[in-house]
Structure 1
Amino acid sequence: MNTINILNKRNSHFYFFTSLFDVKKGAILSFFIFFFNITSAQTLQEYIREAKENNPELKAAQNVLDVSLEKVHEVGGLPNTTIGTGYFVSEPETRTGAQKARFNVQQNIPWFGTIKARKETASTESEVNKNELEIAKRKITLLVEQTYYRLYELKARQKILVEQNKLLDTYIEIALKEVENNRASTVDVLKFNITKNNLQNEEEILKGKILTAETAMNQLLHRDGFDPLVVPDNLFIPEEEPTMILDDITYHPELITYDHLGDLLDKKESVNAKESLPSIGIGLDYVIVEERPNISFSDNGKDIVMPKISLSVPLFSKKHKSRSKQYELQKEEVYQKREASQNNLENMMEEAINNRITARINYDTQQKNIMQAKQAEEIILSAYQTTQLNFEDVLDVQQMLLDFENKKIEAIAMYFMQTAVLNYLR
């Protein structure tokens, strides 16, 4: 009877939540689940925020956006003003005197609407970079969430193995006592030890996988060294599927980026058309004239002021035609890439929805399996009060429980990973 008490004490953690639910009608359990999910969600959001603040890829994407925004001011300016001067080595004589030096200034002005078209092009390019930054943020968020839930899965499995090891220690003690009483064989003890060795082996393998996942998370957070990470030790799939409204996939940032790229090519084509038109030049020449000696007349030594206007005509427009052809080809490329991206996103959404449904089904199935395996365990232990304990059945039940618990944890991790994918697609 003492042995049964030890077993019941060792197994008390298996039945805690079930009995609590029966006594309090689920109120306390619901509180724990709610509180835990809120706490873990807060921790996850902190990691996401930290990754967005520190990730070098996001910083680079932000710099690209800032540069493109600044470029709007650059393209809105006029070409350089040309200022020149010259000195007459051999002074040409005119009626009003000898020309000594010449000064000139000229400003070229693009054809009407060219500067506006350039600014619109630069502005559209900044919209492309803005969407690419948003995509990068979403991808970082997805990576952090999936790594977070992967780490949960590994640590939860590790916790189950620790509990199973403790339980095996109890069964080994029982088996040894039964051997002393000639009610069990040494083979039973060896079988328990072999099972324990296998569990310890799995524990060591899990430690390496946990270290790899923690390294990946620290890299996403761009931390130095291995800072401690807080992850949940248990998660629950909600009983009712939470409402998740997915917008039309057409408005996903990846697709909007392609829309902006198409618009950008239209704007570039407009600039190209404007640049194929003449540009206007406005200038002024100023010539210093020396007075003629010993002669008196009204314009003697009068400097020359000569306003100028010019046209720069692109007589050979082959480069503009070539650019126009390139833009047409690039538009077709953007269209095809957009179609491929939309198909990919739709497939991702369909797969994530189906995987999440599958995870919920697996979770519910494993919950039932665990409950029934525990009932089988109770039957085996209760029979031990009057008859010899069947160690073979004990091992079978414990192996089933371990498999069911692992599959349950895997289903939970899958559910939340697929939820992260759906959040990325929203």
Structure 2
Amino acid sequence: MALVTLGINHRTAPVELRERIAFTPERMEEAFAELRVASGASEAAILSTCNRTELYLAGDDDCAPLVLRWLAGFHNLDAGELEEAVYVHRDADAVRHVMRVAAGLDSMVLGEPQIFGQLKDAYALARKHGASGSFLSRMFEQTFSVAKRVRTQTAIGENPVSVAYAAVSMAHHIFSDLSRNRALLIGAGKTIELVAQHLSEAGVKDFVVANRTLERAQSLAEAHGGKGIVLSEIPDYLPDVDIIISSTASPLPILGKGAVERALKKRKHRPYFMVDIAVPRDIEPEVASLADVYLYTVDDLRQVIEENIRSREGAAREAENLVTDGVQAFLNQLRALDAVSTLKQFRQRAETLRDVETEKALRALRNGSDPETVLRSLARGLTNKLLHEPSVQVRRATTEGRTEVTEWLRELHQLDALEADAATTPEKL
């Protein structure tokens, strides 16, 4: 079974490209239906976050070129443009990659915990759509086990610095005292939950949370003493907020340049601090051209995040060792499964030969043949049948210079040990 991982991430592609190949929840069913047919893969999973889009596929052949063409076509992109940003990992390297992703070793924020949950969600979605079979299931289960060990056995997750934390840290560059500022958070997912938590810890007391569903917005806002609204109410609250941080799964921008311009006229040059964590982006890029607006995307958070990377390098080395062990354990597991399948076939063949020879012996006994003669004939016939094909293949391999086959035969049947026992037997007598 061949395994292929194909994708782009924050290192290989800017947000402008990442947002164009992000998979929205609404198109996931369509994507799964097309992907396996287009690639010829028997199993598939899709991970799509603000920092990466990755496809995990298992099949009989290397399907990377087919997947690349399908990915470009699905998102109406030129395959040549996409090819420059895409990375491909195969087999053991693909397993290592997915384990590093799950452990937070390939994230923009080294050791960030959110990717682990996102990968579990991707696996669950693949199972929901019937796209994940036994091979990917084993890989993901082993991956999650390794990621848990990284979390519990290394310090990579201590004092976590997430994208959400980095966004709030950057707000200090604009506002010296965040307790005086009002925040508008757009979305109500896990990232925005973290943003709300960090803003609260930084002193922000006045929150507005806007979301597609009011109930979810109110639930998150009330946890921090704020107010929940629906997305359509954003223009009403825009003039009175200072900090805007957005992270939704919307395929189209939620906040446009026109709405911000109208709000700025009422603010009398009071600055806006905005961070658009979403991919595709929630805030129109043109908003950045407006005076008194400081708009950052997820790619602009690198400086804060690089400091985090330096502080965790030791833990990362320990984590890499755990990943290496995890990859080896998974490969050993696959080899063991392959051995089980081979041994099953070997046993079935032996049992078929046994049944044929047994039936021949029973017919001879029913016809009145001498039992001792029948038993000796049964033993001789079964031995010849079992040894004939292996003997032919060993002679052929030896003639071709593949002497390792003879060595394996001696090891399988412990012939050296038998010879050693035979040599010492006279002394024992």
Superposition TM-score, scaled by structure 2 size: 0.23
**Richer in helix (by share):** 1
Superposition TM-score, scaled by structure 1 size: 0.23
Max Rg structure: 1
